[in-house]
Amino acid sequence: MQIDVLLIGQGLAGSLLAWELLKRQFRILVVDNGLENASQVAAGLVNPVTGQRLVKQADIEILLPAALAGYRQLAEQFQQNFYVQMPMLKILRTQQERELAMRRLSQPDYLAYLSEWLPMLEAVHAPFGVLQQQQTGYLKTEALLKNLRDFLIGNSCYRQADLQYGDISVRPDLQWQDVKPRHIVFCEGHRAVANPWFGGLPFQLAKGEILGCESRQDLPERILNYGHWLIPLEARRFKTGATFDTQHTDNLPSQSAQNALLASLRTVCPLQPSISVYQHRAGIRPATLDKQPFIGTHPRHQQLHIFNGFGAKGSLAIPFYAARFADYLQQQADLPPICDIRRYDETHFLA
């Protein structure tokens, strides 16, 4: 079978890249092992201003409109909404955070993302105040991935298999099983560290855990951000997470993470009585040492590419980069230098 692009991995990266390539009339095949992946576990949060330092995400003015337009188009295609826009309440935890928040509110380039001080909320313990963040929300990653998988299956562009790298022939031409692609793009998430061509790139994997919980009380219709976060769902259910652990790379839920997330929640919602946990999941973020994606072509194998390294920001960053990378494969358009793996010298590339 002759095709243009074989994609390895149907997480958010492989799925959205496949979508962009199909829009450009590429003949593609996506291979995935069908196991639970980081994209399904993820909360899908999109948050332009993050961290204790309340710093605006680099390139947010480019990434956010691309993400919103991309998710709107997918909503039209599949006749359902995947992106939920919801303001976020940033619970300030120290006097320093409060002073920083006041400074940010006076900076014109932050005004689109930070709006106002809010009165104290009854159910939330916030002695240093609450700041409202806007242009925030979350992606329903599981629903989106399921729709895209069904779409790929319906268009004969999907094969369930656990690809073994040794089964890929690179010379004289690319081949895997009966498939003869012009290009292979690896989108394997954290498993890329075992990739014989790209595994030498400086990944910094980070395990994350998330709880699905049920409350006996009504919840604010806002995302709460207090270092960890809470996303209200329907019927008094909510998600809370996520841990960030660079020491472990298994995807097993742990009691210590559950305890830490519940303790953190109790500090801001002390009035929440007996929360019950109905779901506990773990996954591994494909984060990178320099916090930028790994996108581009192997220096010695022009048909082998990587589209990975989206760390904790997949929902925000992947739509923009998927479109750029599809343009790159179609018309040799330049990649944004910040994501291009050519920033690393040859010693980082194996095989």
Ligand X SMILES: Cc1cc2nc3c(=O)[nH]c(=O)nc-3n(C[C@H](O)[C@H](O)[C@H](O)COP(=O)(O)OP(=O)(O)OC[C@H]3O[C@@H](n4cnc5c(N)ncnc54)[C@H](O)[C@@H]3O)c2cc1C
* Footprint on this chain of ligand X (rule: CB under 6 A): 8-14, 31-33, 35, 37-39, 41-45, 162-163, 187-191, 208-210, 241-242, 283-286, 308, 310-316
To the nearest 5 percent, what fractions of the chain are helix, strand and coil?
A: 30, 30, 40
Q: Which residue is nearest to ligand X (CB)?
A: 11
Q: Which is nearer to ligand X, 20 or 188 (CB)?
A: 188
Q: For residue 328, how many C-alpha atoms fall within 13 Å in the half-sphere facing its CB? A: 23
Least spacing, CB of residue 73 vs ligand X, in Å: 18
Joined together, the tokens standing for residue 4 give: 């243009």
Q: Which is nearer to ligand X, 285 or 298 (CB)?
A: 285
Least spacing, CB of residue 300 vs ligand X, in Å: 21
Least spacing, CB of residue 40 vs ligand X, in Å: 7
Nearest to 288 by CA among 235, 239, 343, 224: 343
Q: Which is nearer to ligand X, 129 or 181 (CB)?
A: 181
Least spacing, CB of residue 173 vs ligand X, in Å: 21
Cβ-Cβ contacts under 8 Å for 221 (sequence gap 6 or more):
86, 232
Rounded CA-CA distance 271/289 in Å is 39
Read off φ and ψ for residue 100, nearest 5 degrees. -65, -40
Joined together, the tokens standing for residue 234 give: 């329907």
Cβ contact 225:264 at 8 Å: no
Q: Which is nearer to ligand X, 129 or 191 (CB)?
A: 191
Joined together, the tokens standing for residue 113 give: 């993302």
Least spacing, CB of residue 348 vs ligand X, in Å: 19
Q: Which is nearer to ligand X, 10 or 129 (CB)?
A: 10
